[in-house]
Chain A
Amino acid sequence: MIMVDFVHHPLPAFLVDHDLNIKEQSELATELFSKPASFLDCVDSESKQKAIDLLKNKDEIELVLNTVDSPYMLFKVFARWTDNGEGQILCVRQDSQIMELSSMLQMQRDRLAETNFDLLDKKEELENAMNKIKKLSSPFLPISSNLCVIPLFGSLDEELFLINEQQLLSTLQTGSYEHVILDFNGIGEIEETGVFAFQSFYQMIQLVGVNPILSGLKPRHVFRLMENDFNVDQTFHITGSLKDAISKYILSSNERHR
């Protein structure tokens, strides 16, 4: 029989009997696992069945072992058995490599999550800012007791009306305005969905009993409105500039009141 110097073995090593009771162990094994009676005493509860099933049949298996410092550490465990049922068990720590790998993965996940949260925060901020801009893009300006102006700014899109329509209509309804001038001077792009929303806004202005007038329309605005079937019906006054519109309608109402 070959004598093995277990005490000075360069790895945590055990000499066990057939039932995995420990007969001898290396210094390093004592350092890591103290002095268990059975090898199974150092095996984590959820690795025990694996150890019982496979330690005898496989040359090497991975097991989670309870060490003095940590209750949960991954080892590669090598076993050799002699004919008389004795076995040598060597334990090699896997944790350092695996932990490194898994902490790298974790770091990458954290970074992705962080970016994700930052983006979410920025998105919320941006949406709020956009809402504010839209809210400021159609101010209500009373000119006289029966004339008011709503200058429109930015893109003529669905949001512009979604955000401001209710407020504007209720202001128009409570005042006793005869005419409202919708000024297009500050409008850049006109979007298709914006034309439909504008059409419905325009009709609702009429429903609350006010006459809408368009001013400041540029040729490209007109083309874009026509492309999307915006109806210019007979009651519709299209004048040139905002200045013309205001002087015309202030004048006309003054004449009538004379």
Chain B
Amino acid sequence: MPVDIKQLTDLLLEGNEDKAWELIETESELFDSSHLAFEVLTHAMQLVGKLWEENEITVADEHLATTTCDYVLSRYAYAKKKWKQPSNGKRALFLCIDQEQHYLGLKMISLLFEEYGWDTRLLGANLPLEYAVDTASKWQPLVVGISVAILYNADQLSKYVTELGNLSNQPEVLVGGRLASMYDLSKYCSTNTVLVPDLKEIKLWLEEQKGDGRDHG
């Protein structure tokens, strides 16, 4: 890892967004490659979770770290705006299922899509199905990305996958998030659903799509 994860984690827990940003920004390797930067932030947030398990911090501390990490991500995306590829006209919608509050991974994925020239909308945490369906049928995205992190939320996943996948423009449904990296979620999904356990998989998928565009165009 190009940065000291413990140090980054401490800064996130302190709510020190400027120092945390500095740590990422000054490391050229991280500034050049978003998926490395996002991995570093993911590791830091995983350590936050571990610290809670060890009773070193409380859930309130976790919330502060989450908001700080969110800020660093936004700043990262803003700083890298001019390197992003020109719009390819494709649209992707991202959301967390109802009651699901863990939205940081989703935000990272959405930012990766943007770098590859996609138009994205990040609807964020805790989105009831009817809103998701409403937005998706109005905005007509090619891809709908769904994130789920907590096991007891998984039961709802199949409803989301079915209803969103059956919309008139038949968007491709991607399912990711912490649960996708821990369990095989295929029983909650349809045969067309793409399961993406981590950022690397998303990057590969995006590269593949880019290739597709060239072949057919």
Contact assessment for A72 and B52 in the assembled complex, using a CB-CB cutoff below 8 Å: no
Among B6-14, B33-41, B59-67, B158-166, the stretch in contact with A: B59-67
Compute how far the CA of A44 lies from the CA of B59 in the bound complex, rounded to whole angstroms: 15
- Given contacts A62-B58, A105-B63, are A71 and B124 in contact (CB under 8 A)? no
Compute how far the CA of A105 lies from the CA of B52 in the bound complex, rounded to whole angstroms: 20
Contact assessment for A106 and B121 in the assembled complex, using a CB-CB cutoff below 8 Å: no
Contact assessment for A94 and B59 in the assembled complex, using a CB-CB cutoff below 8 Å: yes
Contact with A along B112-128 (1 / 0, CB 8 A): 00000000011111100
Instruction: Kindly state the interface size class of chain B when it binds its partner.
Output: 20 to 34
Q: Is the interface of B mostly helix, strand, loop or mixed?
A: mixed
Contact with A along B96-126 (1 / 0, CB 8 A): 0001010000000000000000000111111
Compute how far the CA of A46 lies from the CA of B54 in the bound complex, rounded to whole angstroms: 13
Q: Is the interface of A mostly helix, strand, loop or mixed?
A: helix
Number of cross-chain contacts by CB at 8 Å: 44
**Does A172 sit at the interface, judged by CB under 8 A?**
no
Compute how far the CA of A105 lies from the CA of B124 in the bound complex, rounded to whole angstroms: 12
Give which listed residue, B54, B67, B123, B126, contacts A113 with CB less than 8 A: B123
Give which listed residue, B55, B101, B121, contacts A117 with CB less than 8 A: B121
Contact assessment for A62 and B55 in the assembled complex, using a CB-CB cutoff below 8 Å: yes
Closest residue on chain B to residue A71 by CB atoms = B152
Contact with B along A73-102 (1 / 0, CB 8 A): 010000000000000000000100010011
- Given contacts A62-B59, A101-B63, are A113 and B53 in contact (CB under 8 A)? no
Interface residues of B (CB under 8 A from A): 52-55, 58-60, 63, 67, 70, 99, 101, 121-126, 150-152
